[in-house]
Structure 1
């Protein structure tokens, strides 16, 4: 034996290279992974997570670190098997010559029955029991971490297949070599002296999940040739020893340039001084009572779940960020995730969080910047995020594939792993970004599976919901949330379907001890209680806590702050005084008839003014804008979800520049929008006209009305007024109805109850005094409305309950299982119970929102002849784009901004959707385009649309069974689709 390892063991390979000139021995890869795992534990993992792991071990945090580095050094034991070895013949041959006979690749036709992660799991379990006398349950728990290091757990079926097919795993010399590896790493890591002390541990599933997630990170880093150079083929020397290995790891860390995690100190400032400093408030400014109470609560209690319910525009965002900093400092957390309902609201919050980071105390001198990411599918189109990427140091882009460990070949699947968006690649340097933020968009954290691992992340609620969805690499998503404070804004925006996933995620966040801050202006009491119950989960709580939670169902106080301690010892609900007088909004009914609506706008805007009209469907919004334009009531801006991504972003920026806190405020302007104007958009209008919507959303919309103090408003609009559009009661029904489109979106039940409750309120709505009472009445179960309406409402309620039950039922198949703390013997195979096949994952990705099947396409303008692709003429005039070559990154990002979502009328029928996709994929001209080869555009569907003569209108047609779809697009109206039967 050379260097303590037999020749056969030293010939085993872990990584191959495409040029067949270099390789990475298995022993060296195990040493690299163990050592980098230790550094990640020391310098990247949040202190709070280390403490939670340490509770499970007799030696505390030190023991937890030792166990983790030991497991990291054993993770690829299963690569010492014939099923793995034969996959690269020129590396298998030295193993055969050293006595590890593995036959040929053809001999191992069934090799996928023994994936190396499962072999690692099976062998470690057996070795711990037979060689070290470990308890059955303990060995199974620990070994399951190895089985999950490729993002899928090794469930009993997979492990049974490994046991049955011993030929694939290898007997005799193979078993001896694996034993030698296991023994070598156990001594090398220092774990040999603790094996007896660990033999009867019980490690909770939440800890196993975290360890498996961090092991994946360590494995990805250690698998990159850019960080850990490979050896020349034929070099079978033992792993580097001591100082040489230490230098190797230090060089890898320097090349990786991981930003250090956030490590705030507990603020000692008063609430007033703190808010002024963090948010750059002028002298004399004071926090609201809600902001002050949230800050004091975070300072004085071990907060687990914090629910802040107060009016729009009252400073919830600042309160949440203040609480996050205090809580993170007190608990030793290393970042935050800010979740919002949509990509547009995420973009707006990203700017605010970036500015907040600038106002935080400077990072320590040895931490050039923290890591920051924007977590949604169109992140690269956000100007500020793109600037963060572009401001880091340039480096050799030819190395991008090497720098991305997810591109390393996974020989168990014979294909490269799905990696990060190459379009997002840039320098891993941690240099400060010149005033953009105290953080950088570090290259390593831009892959879609790694975004949540950045210290600071802003994105859609989907990123949180997917933590409740069984899918490959789920443990990475959980690891990304473990060491953070999670902020969920506009919590009322989720439906019953999404709530199933959110509640399951809250249950796991409670198990991890992750603090969660929930923000809402209008949260039904039953929903508040459900979120608290979810966070508590199956953990035992004192009777007083259970009683307090039960009482939440009827608590109508407002503004209200609900707090649950992490240890469940205390739950409180405190009403906060509202500063200043209650705001009164005068309201009245209006008609959904377009002629009457136009007449109303004409009358109300006679003296000027800025009017916001919110319609519940895109079609109604488009028809309303068209009718107003024909009546000469402009200028008019239309905003909805069926614009190109680029145009949507421009419209949001334009709305803020005109109607924001410091906006230009035109004398007269009408904005027609859908729900995109309902949430997290800091704009202010003189008059609101809105379709009937559920009462909580109506109050959200009122938040866009007289939001800011103005020196002067037009005559007749000097006090806040709202007109609610609904149809007159039909014969004998006794209550107004929402439009057919509104009922399709929200269902009749909540609309009928909202209309009935509004009818009983009188001409004024007092904010905040009436917010909670009215919301609770609409979402409650007591009868509302006149006697003659009860039959209609009973029918609507029955349909509503059926709809909710159907939503909850549809959410179940891919839902992550609950954690039961009483099941102390559980391992990771009980955590994720669905097979992790690619097909299952692709189907599951669409499961976190209950929407009709939709399809996003990239609209490609062409000249009138259709022969030449051009940029949108309202963006760049007369600019031809070359479809015959791969675009550069900047051009690809621009093209990605031309995406638009087709309407449900085209996609809701599955057969029709399949036919549409085939037609888009088989366009002869488009199939020859080279754009498909750019990583950002790979897999996208392109829809060429001809520019019409003399304008900016694009048009095309798409054939379908028995009909022809006629499509038009303009920057003023967005996408319009009609049928030509």
Structure 2
């Protein structure tokens, strides 16, 4: 039987009324066998025993795309065009070179996904008659479709390069054309006529991610098992559509409709009530919420996000936070509300250590057991979403670090998948003031622009946002605000609320600020507070200074707790829980509790202290820290506190006596270099003159006095430090400009597929990860105890890790990684971990790792001259 054209094939299908069912079946199967048997998509190598045909695979993925695109707000003809393009994503598998690679193991000169672009260009005349639109619009989207493997195609498009690709394709070109004709029958209304070139370039960053998501689901053999060629394309598509619907649901990608259920059972605070009333404009919307720590911004943002979702501004939400610790805390809080915001949403935790979160692991386990069933406000997660951070942004609701979102504007592999995942979400960025550092600020600006370009809305939360930074953020959505009122809710291009009802809850009032001149004075002040029954904290800028402070307090007979970032994760989690049990919102046995911590307490933990000492830091950090002083006045009013008033004691030199640029180092030692010297001097100058922090009414003036246009002039001896800082900031902005993708260009012209390490989301000191171990008779075991954390060995090793600046380790003789006992453990690790993580046995009882480096569970990692 000769090969039949798709036109003859469809004529036979259409004329079934003149044929018996048996004749129709025979004709269909013969046609399929002749046309498609020699074009596999998947190998039959073990464990598979069947070659999955390319035509079936592309219909699988197109069927998934049909499910994924349903809730995007575009016209039907454009949706059909995107579905059809996704269906063509692996057109390059109709190539002799790909077939040889699968069946004979012969490497390809040009991967199949790059050949897809060539085949689409070669078939442009056919596609023009189907899709319409301009040649340039189609060219842009052909490349975007081909770029679904995480990077754009870079195949030479000139005559010679195209000729080599066509040689690799061979007779597959004719098969590709026949498949185009078949696909047109399934989505005949597909049209790109509504897109101009500028809009096509915007979609070119979205389409590869959409295609990747559909391909990853459509390639999963859990749902789409390899099949023999046993039915015609129309019959197969009908069957695979049913599978696609189930697969998308089980993967957690079926979308969650907005719900209007009441989120909270408590009386709303003024900021939260205002979020229920403020007008929201049509189209993509940006809202900036500015209020002091403890004003209820998180709940206000959730209320606002619910309104946005009900208004059709998003089908889900991603909550972005500055650190993994803040993300973990927010995951627990948000999980209790999002089931009332969306209809049985899938939820993920997105950061590098998400798998170590017990609440998240429990949710994944529950989701795999129950799926989307149960009570109306149930939330679930899927194993498919949880096993890969790149997939995490595809969930209906995600909570994670801002880094996961920022990767969508860097030229890294699968950047477009993240962009696609965010595009349907309401993006909520918490602690946005912490993202004002030049490099990350440029990333955030471009993230917001890219999000808006695809119709996305966003909410930004902050306590200490300089006006100039706010102006840049508002401008990404075309907004302008001249108001300096605080607190404020500002809608870009819309209304603003600056007058709020009086909060009837008890307030702490003004916080007096007093300077301390020495660590000895700070120690004695905390000793007195502890003996008076106060819950006390000293926030230090550097880990080594925090350790020294604990030693000094313990020498005075005061039981002191320590918390910083150089603890193994298992110990840090335990310490955080102990601190929360004592001085958290519902803490007990507070009397005489003393904590020395670094700045990690600024945002990650909801703590309440009676007495506070802080190293001098920029005004934003001090405002955040003082938010943990006399915090929960509704539970602990002034009459029940062991001290008469809230006072912030700041360890600082005199800002009126600056002899040289060692001004701060003379008092703070190692903590002096953590923050920019000009910012810390201006903070000291302003704060000690005013002598108090008034929240909320006085916060804007304090912030602007340090960071605004009218900031105080520096002493001349600090001019060089400011010039150096400005130079570093310019360099950071320039580097960001080089790294961030040009969203005005197309994906093919401006995308990349680099490793994440090459394009970091943040600038900073290079860190080294140490994995701590204990010695036993049976060899090395993880520092984290299996009795506390279960028997999962990879998780135990991850919980045993601690990060430290590489420069601090450079001169130390760390344990030999080629020693037999270490090699015996690391051989079970992934290759990247064998390379990047240093395994360090900790000697008993002194805690020595090597000369000069020790670890103890109550001190963390510290540097020592001797045991």
Structure 2 counterpart SS, 1:385 = helix
Secondary structure, in 3 states, of the residue corresponding to 1:23?
coil
Q: How does 1:397-796 map to 2 (within 5 A)?
A: 429-432=371-374, 438-446=378-386, 447-494=388-435, 495-536=437-478, 548-549=480-481, 551=482, 555-565=483-493, 570=494, 572=496, 574-576=498-500, 579=503, 583-591=509-517, 593-634=518-559, 636-709=560-633, 710-711=636-637, 717-728=643-654, 733=659, 737=664, 739-761=668-690, 763-782=691-710, 784=712, 790-796=715-721
Q: Once the 2 structures are TM-superposed, how far is the Cα of residue 476 of structure 1 from its aligned partner?
A: 0.9
Cα distance in 2 between the residues matched to 1:336 and 1:348 = 17
**Aligned twin of 2:257:** 263
Contact 1:303 1:327 in 2 (8 A): no
Contact 2:348 2:392 in 1 (8 A): yes
Name the CA distance, whole Å, in 2 between partners of 1:160 and 1:843.
36
Which of residues 287, 293, 307 is equivalent to 2:274? 293
1:27 aligned onto 2:8: no
Encode CA deviations 1:463-500: one digit per residue, 9 max, x unaligned: 12212211111111011111111111111112222111
Of residues 33, 39, 45 in structure 2, which corresponds to 1:12? 39
C-alpha change, 1:783 and 1:895, in structure 2 (3 Å) is closer
Q: CA deviation at 1:311?
A: 0.7
Q: CA deviation at 1:298?
A: 5.3
Specify the SS of the correspondent of 1:562: strand
Name the CA distance, whole Å, in 1 between partners of 2:510 and 2:193. Answer: 68
Structure 1 contact 594–627 (Cα < 8 Å) conserved: no
Task: Measure, in 2, the Cα distance between the counterparts of 1:534 and 1:201.
Answer: 21
CA apart distance, 1:630: 1.3
The partner residue of 2:361 within 354, 368, 386 is 386
1:226 paired to 2:222? yes
Q: Residue 302 of structure 1: CA displacement?
A: 5.5
1:312 maps to 293
Q: Cα 1:790–1:197, aligned 2, differ >3 Å: closer, same or farther?
A: closer
Q: How is 1:348-387 mapped onto 2 (pairs within 5 angstroms)? A: 348-360=329-341, 363=343, 369-387=344-362
- CA distance in 1 between counterparts of 2:195 and 2:313 reads 30
Q: Deviations over 1:915-952 (max 9, x none)?
A: 97xx6643332222276257997766252323424xxx
Q: 22-31 or 609-618: which moved more?
A: 22-31
1:194 and 1:73, CA in 2 relative to 1: closer, same or farther beyond 3 A? closer
Q: CA deviation at 1:855?
A: 1.4
Alignment partners' CA distance in 1, 2:420 and 2:140? 18
RMSD, aligned α-carbons: 3.2
Q: Distance in 1 between matches of 2:187 and 2:102?
A: 33
Residue aligning to 1:841: 755
Q: In 2, distance between residues paired with 1:874 and 1:11?
A: 55
| Distance verdict in 2 for CA 1:563–1:67, change over 3 Å | same
Deviates more, 1:714-723 or 1:19-28: 714-723
Could you give the per-residue CA deviations for residues 338-387 of structure 1, whole angstroms, max 9, x where no partner exists?
111111111111110111135557x4xxxxx3211111111122121121
Instruction: Decide which of 167, 179, 187 is 1:190's aligned counterpart.
Output: 187
The equivalent residue for 1:956 is 849
Provide closer, same or farther for how the CA distance between residues 706 and 179 of structure 1 changes in structure 2, counting only shifts above 3 A.
Answer: same
**Relative to structure 2, which stretch is displaced further, 644-653 or 729-738?**
729-738
Give the counterpart of 2:116 among 98, 120, 124.
120
Q: CA deviation at 1:765?
A: 2.0
Of 371-380 and 734-743, the range deviating more from structure 2: 734-743
CA distance in 2, matches of 1:174, 1:562: 57
Residue of structure 1 in register with 2:136 after alignment: 137
State how far apart, in whole Å, the 1-side matches of 2:58 and 2:417 are: 20
1:849 Cα offset (Å): 1.1
CA 1:752–1:26 in 2, change beyond 3 Å: closer, same or farther? same
Report how many residues are paired: 825
1:312 match: secondary structure: coil
Match of 2:318, SS?
strand
Task: Choose from 242, 247, 250 the match for 1:250.
Answer: 242
In structure 2, the CA distance between the partners of 1:731 and 1:584, relative to structure 1 (3 Å rule), is closer
Match of 2:264 in 1: 279
Q: How does 1:888-899 map to 2 (within 5 A)?
A: 890-899=792-801
Is residue 850 of structure 2 the alignment partner of residue 970 of structure 1?
no
Q: Contact 2:849 / 2:855 at 8 angstroms: preserved in 1?
A: no
CA contact (8 A) 2:769 2:804 kept: yes
SS at 2:390's partner residue? coil
Distance 1:645 1:582, change over 3 A: closer
The CA deviation at 1:742 is 3.5
1:18-65 CA-partner distances (Å, limit 9, x unpaired):
3262111111112222222212223xxxx3xx22xx3xxxxxx21122
Aligned to 1:96: none
Going from structure 1 to structure 2, the CA distance change for 1:714 and 1:469 (only over 3 Å counts) comes to same
1:556–1:772 CA contact under 8 A, matched in 2: yes
Partner of 1:204: 200
Retained in 1: the 8 A contact 2:490–2:497? yes
Q: CA deviation at 1:851?
A: 1.2
Q: Is the 8 A contact 1:309 1:522 kept in 2?
A: yes
Q: Deviations over 1:138-179 (max 9, x none)?
A: 2202312322121211246478774152454334x3322222
For 1:449 and 1:8, the matched residues in 2 are separated by: 37
Structure 2 vs 1, CA of residues 387 and 190 (structure 1 numbering), >3 Å: closer, same or farther? closer
Match of 2:18 in 1: none
How far is 1:572 from its partner? 4.2
Greater Cα offset, 726-735 or 490-499: 726-735
Change (3 A) 1:711 1:164: same
* Inter-partner Cα distance in structure 2 for 1:758 and 1:507: 36
Q: How far has the Cα of 1:638 moved from its partner? A: 0.4
Residue equivalent to 2:767: 854
Residue 51 of structure 2 aligns to a residue in which SS?
strand
| Corresponding residue number in structure 1 for 2:819 | 923
Q: Give the conservation status (yes or no) of the 8 Å contact 1:893–1:936.
A: no
- Following the alignment from structure 1 to structure 2, what is the Cα–Cα distance between the partners of residues 303 and 39? 24
CA distance in 1, matches of 2:154, 2:830: 37
**Which residue in 1 is equivalent to 2:304?**
323
Partner Cα separation in structure 2 for residue 317 and residue 724 of structure 1: 29
Partner Cα separation in structure 2 for residue 897 and residue 440 of structure 1: 25
Q: Is 1:39 matched with 2:31?
A: no
Q: Does the 8 A contact of 1:612 with 1:687 survive in 2?
A: yes
Change (3 A) 1:520 1:203: closer
Please state whether the residue corresponding to 2:427 is helix, strand or coil: strand
For the residues of structure 2 that align with 1:769 and 1:711, how far apart are their CA atoms? 21
How far has the Cα of 1:181 moved from its partner? 2.0
TM-aligned CA distance change 1:393 to 1:71, over 3 Å: closer
1:698 CA displacement: 0.6
- Tell me: CA distance 1:627–1:682, structure 2 relative to 1, closer, same or farther (3 Å): same
CA offset at residue 792 of structure 1? Answer: 2.5
For each residue in 1:527-553, what CA deviation from the matched residue of structure 2 results, as whole angstroms up to 9, or x when unmatched?
A: 1011112344xxxxxxxx6xx35x3xx
Q: Which runs of 5+ in 2 are unaligned?
A: 5-26
Please give the TM-score of this superposition, normalised by the length of structure 1.
0.78
> 1:195-249 CA distances to partner (integer Å, 9 max, x unpaired)?
6967988743333333322211111122122212213xxx55554543x542343
CA 253–159 in structure 1, closer or farther in 2 if over 3 Å, else same: farther
Matched-pair contact (CA < 8 Å) for 2:32–2:232: no
